Amino acid sequence: MIKIGISSCFMYPDISRSTFGPKSLSYVENDMMEYVSQNGVLPILLPDINKEKLKRILDELQGVVLQGGVDVAPEMYGEKPIGKWLGDAYRDEYELFIIEEAIKRNLPILGICRGFQLLNVYYGGTLYQDTITQRTQSLQHRSAELYDKVNHKISIHKATPLYEIYPFDQDVFVNSVHHQAIKDLSSQLEIWATSEDGLIEAFGHKNFKDTKVMGVQWHPEFSKTLDQLVINANPLIQLFIHQAL
């Protein structure tokens, strides 16, 4: 089987929790595990452990998925936090290490939402800490109440690997669960899709043939919530898996 690592989300010690209160927890959201668990694929949660041990796990993988979650800390791209948007610098360092080691091993990487944003930061790009306050022309891309029911149109750019799997000349819909977004795209990445308000929704490495790094701002693993209203999530994961073969 192909072994695909999934970066962990973290829960930190909280004595108000009745179970594992003083302990740190690593977890994966269930829809993500379902999405990666394609035929012939073994998903593996990448633990927050000693780096040498983590390297040995990465040696056994054929690809890495960076799942969504809490914000990227602004310090990671040279800014100070605005308002309450502090991010999670600890998780950033953990995932940046995974990105670095995966690239050394020439492993395909798929970044989703936060993972998409962190890949841009890894390559030297920057983020809007909060699109609502920093980019007033933006649509509302996130709702705590509606969560994965929020959706909007995207335009897929021609002559990109994304257009090869989604050859739509008209705008199509994706879900939207984010308030941070790419501000300055890394010079090493190219745009694969944009939203109707001009935000970057998908990218790939400019040398995608050799550096198999790609990311999307939406959550393909949540697509079943909106069913046929949004694009089929399967071609995307199949493209990623094909790179891992």
Catalytic positions, written as ranges: 113, 219, 221
Give Cβ neighbours of residue 58 (< 8 Å, ≥ 6 apart). Answer: 5, 46, 64, 98, 101, 102, 105, 107
Contact criterion met (CB below 8 Å) for 174 and 152: yes
- Per-residue burial over 44-73, b if 16 or more Cβ lie within 10 Å, else e, is bebeeeeeeebeebbeebbbbbbbbbebbb
The Cα–Cα gap between 134 and 75 comes to 17
Sign of the alpha-carbon dihedral angle for 140, 146, 152, 154:
positive
> The tokens 């898996």 sit on which residue?
241
Segments of the chain assigned E as strands? 2-7, 9-11, 25-27, 41-46, 63-66, 109-112, 127-128, 151-156, 172-175, 181-182, 189-195, 200-205, 213-216
